[in-house]
Chain A
Amino acid sequence: MSTVPQETAGVAVEFLLHVFSADAVKRAAYVLMHRATVTFQTDETTIRCLLRPTDSSADDQTLERDFRREVLDQELRLATEAKTESLRNAILGLAFSRTGLQE
């Protein structure tokens, strides 16, 4: 991932799609919607995010740092969710078994 030159107000951040999933980037944008409006541009190899702060006095560097961190966290979440999904379903199935609540 790299920072690219700004074209408009805000901060632009790029992520390589073979390293980060678009889902992780979208989740991070959702989490930070109270701090920034995010627009996306993609090509075959990268996803480019333009972060426009909702508060004009907000610090761009802090926003960029927090966004990158959130993308990293979301990537880890997506990986562990995928690894544990079948167990999660099994545990919930077992927990709700014989309750008469399932069809």
Chain B
Amino acid sequence: MSGFTSLLEYEKPLHAGYELLPFRFTQLSGDRYVVTNLAGEFTVLERPELEAFAKTQLSASDPVYSELKSKHFLTDGDSNVAIDLLALKVRTKLAPLANFTGLHIFVTTLRCEHSCPYCQVSRANDDRREFDMTEETASKAVDLVFRSPSPAIKIEFQGGESLLNQDIIEFTVEEVTRRNQQEKRDLAFVIATNLAVLDDRAITFARKHNILMSTSLDGPADLHNRNRPRPGGNSYEKAIQGIHRVRRELGRDRVGALMTTTVASLGRVREIIDEYVRQDFDGIFLRPLSPYGFAIKTKFYQSYDQSRWLEFYFEGLDYIIDLNLAGFPFLEHYAATILRKMLTPFQPGYVDLISPAGIGIGAIVYNYDGDVYASDESRMLAEMGDKTFCLGNVHTHSYDELLLSDNLLEPLEASFAGSAPMCSWCAFEPYCGSDPVFHHATQKDFVGKKPLSAFCSRNMSIFRGLVERMERPGVREMFERWAYMR
């Protein structure tokens, strides 16, 4: 008759010690460290715990041992599946890379009737038709769109003010839709517009093709109109009218909004969030200025430093957390993107926070003149005279020539965070990106010296800030809800 072996046999694996699985650590504050594994699972350890763990001196009875084991920081004789599970998690995180380019941006025109001093695109006056995309260019770009193996294709129309060249939006949407009867991709269309020139024609067309509108809303009327001048000084009124009209005629969820932080926004983050709440948005994306286009020419980019923006960001984030804890659900989108990377098996497609970089792989831009760029920021840089990330032109280059261009492959390879100095040993690397365009723009180097990088210091501060806030009562649960929202 068979029976259980003695208790001693069951305890043997616990006394046999453990083996470290690959991990990285970074100081959180004081003696506390964030520790992450290859798949981005994390925990926080005190320095003595970290040292004992790293030197394989941790006892199996130590409270942190089970957590480290369950999150695949160590493996012991009790189980032999840790390596397989960790590999599966890494594979799941990286799976979207195989889909290749999902976001295709068409710059329909550089013309714009706004004259925002922080514009990252370097707009043209609204009577200059030489800055409009033609049907021939759009058709060639559509050929390239369908060369991407991605099962989901999102076409985003940008400007200038994209609706000033409505003919090309309609041509492109109809051409893509027609070709997709054979291709059977999961299609989505977005028009990025300030909504000031929204008319019946645009609304009717958007309804027919289920097109989403993405607009700009910088905050309350005085701030928005100061940031976004246009003839009549009524950018805010036009945007709000447009938002209401799109919701009324297309549906509540068919319009989204983005804000940009100027020096005039600092100190007003609560008012800006209140404006988004008042306009019935589910969340806000608190965005800093980018070092491109008019933002550089007008010195807007240099108008505040990183520490002031971080104060603005965290005041806003804490205000939003308080709103949620008081029972009002509201999201900060940048935090939610990072939390999705930290707390779920999924990899959001946000181009700035991917390594290998999202340029070309995550998004590609077809400019009004047929030039193809590796990202939106790449074409912004080109408008300043730097065509480092121009991959070619739809009229003269094939898909293979564009996507295997040295202008794409070299920055992708050079900037890979897993092998970049400081990134390669940083605990936050699984959540971060490499952003070769930003580092080229600011340091003339695809990799960039991270201790001098505003991209690095901003993201490190936000990663730390999110981990610290998760330790407050109720916040971890709230962040998990944000992480799983799409």
Contact = CB atoms under 8 A, between A and B. Distances in A.
Interface of A: 27, 30-35, 73-74, 76-77, 79-81, 83-85, 87-88, 90-92, 94-96, 99, 101
Contact of B21 (A31, A33, A87): A87
A95 B24 contact: no
17 contacts: A30-B422, A33-B451, A76-B25, A76-B50, A80-B54, A84-B20, A84-B21, A85-B22, A87-B19, A87-B21, A87-B83, A88-B22, A90-B83, A91-B90, A92-B90, A94-B84, A95-B87
B22 A87 contact: yes
B94 to A, nearest CB: 7
Contact of A33 (B50, B91, B94, B452): B452
A88 B38 contact: yes
Nearest to B75: A87
A94 B477 CA distance: 33
Contacts of A30: 421-422, 451
Contacts of A85: 22
Contacts of B20: 80, 83-84, 87
A83 B21 CA distance: 9
B223 interface: no
A102 B121 CA distance: 39
**Which of B19, B21, B22, B23 has most A Cβ within 10 Å?**
B22
Contacts of B50: 76
B98 interface: yes
Contacts of A95: 87-88, 90-91, 94
Contacts of A84: 20-23
Contacts of B281: none
B419 to A, nearest CB: 12
A90 B74 CA distance: 15
B72 to A, nearest CB: 9
Contacts of B451: 30-35
B459 interface: no
A31 B422 contact: yes
A79 B38 contact: no
A83 B56 CA distance: 11
**Which of A32, A74, A90, A92 has most B Cβ within 10 Å?**
A92
Contacts of A81: 425
A54 to B, nearest CB: 10
Contacts of B260: none
Contacts of B83: 87, 90-91, 94
Contacts of B177: none
Contacts of B422: 30-31
Nearest to A84: B22
Nearest to B85: A91
Nearest to A74: B425
A62 B23 CA distance: 28
**Which of B20, B50, B84, B425 has most A Cβ within 10 Å?**
B425
Contacts of A27: 425
Interface string B91-127: 1001000100000000000000000000000000000
Contacts of A73: 25, 27
Nearest to B91: A95
